[in-house]
Amino acid sequence: LRSQTCRSSARSTSSPPSLDRRLTFQRARRRMRSAFLVVALLARAAALRLVYVHGVSPEGPAHPRLAKVREAVHGVEVVAPDITGGGDSYEQCTISAALRVLHSCCEAEEGPVSICASSFGAFVALLFAARHPEKVSRLFLLGPALDMKANLPLFVDEDGMAAWREEGVREMGPGVRVGWPWAQEILDLAAGDCPPQPLCPITLVMPESDVPRAKGFLDATPAAAAPRRVLATQGWKPYQADAGIEAVLPHLTAWAEACAE
């Protein structure tokens, strides 16, 4: 009697062969679907190329920040055009020349590009995205110069501007000589370009102390614009050899992953 009970119990707890086959097939299908998804995401990430636009620094596109950007985006190819205007300094640099370089870079890509940009490069990226919305999908701006026309007088007084115009070049920092045409183009910018207001999604990453500078930019956001985010970072000092930039990198990693989705 006991053995009959055990056999009866075993039969009641086991699944019919047809059900087992269905469960096995469903599990296999889920695994295949997951595998295909992973392969598709990896392929898309491999095909993704980000454009990085550097700011004004002696190293130009070879600034150490570019290495950090490449590290943060985990192997995604980063294209870094040179907007210095040629040579070892910025004497030939102008906004219009920088826009042409960026345009050529984006023309080589298939479809709208994702742009990460720093400082003056961020202003160039904003202006480019506003003028060529079909070429830019989103922006990630590090310590951006949002309104060059308003900011320039904060760095150079009237006497300095007069001397700059007369001499044709000005020392803007160690190893950085900027030609007068750069300043002239900034002064001649139209009101609608100060600051530029593209419609694509924009992420601003700034030291906490700089966040108030973004208020005017955010207040002027067009109604049709995509959402904008300001990420305040503690400890990052972009004007002091990028000290503490490690606080920025997780935000850039998350942004790059979103670009690949």
pLDDT in tens, the chain (261 residues): 444 444 444 454 555 666 566 656 566 556 545 443 333 333 344 446 799 999 888 777 778 888 899 989 987 889 999 988 776 678 888 999 999 999 999 988 888 999 999 999 999 999 999 999 999 999 999 999 998 998 898 889 999 999 999 999 999 877 788 999 999 999 999 888 888 999 999 999 999 888 988 888 999 899 999 999 999 998 888 877 788 889 899 999 999 988 877
d(CA 122, CA 47): 24
Identify the three-state secondary structure at position 48: coil
d(CA 219, CA 217): 6
Give helix then strand counts, H and E, for the chain: 10, 8
Answer whether 147's CB lies under 8 Å from 126's CB. Answer: no
Q: Which of 100, 52, 54, 117 is nearest to 79 (CA)?
A: 52
**Cα 248 from chain centroid (whole Å):** 12
Q: CA dist 175 to 26, 89, 163, Å?
A: 65, 7, 19
pLDDT at site 179: 93
For residue 98, give both structure tokens.
Answer: 């920088």
What pTM did the predictor assign? 0.79
Answer whether 244's CB lies under 8 Å from 236's CB. Answer: yes
Q: At what angle do helices 95-107 and 180-187 cross, to 10 degrees?
A: 90
d(CA 68, CA 73): 9
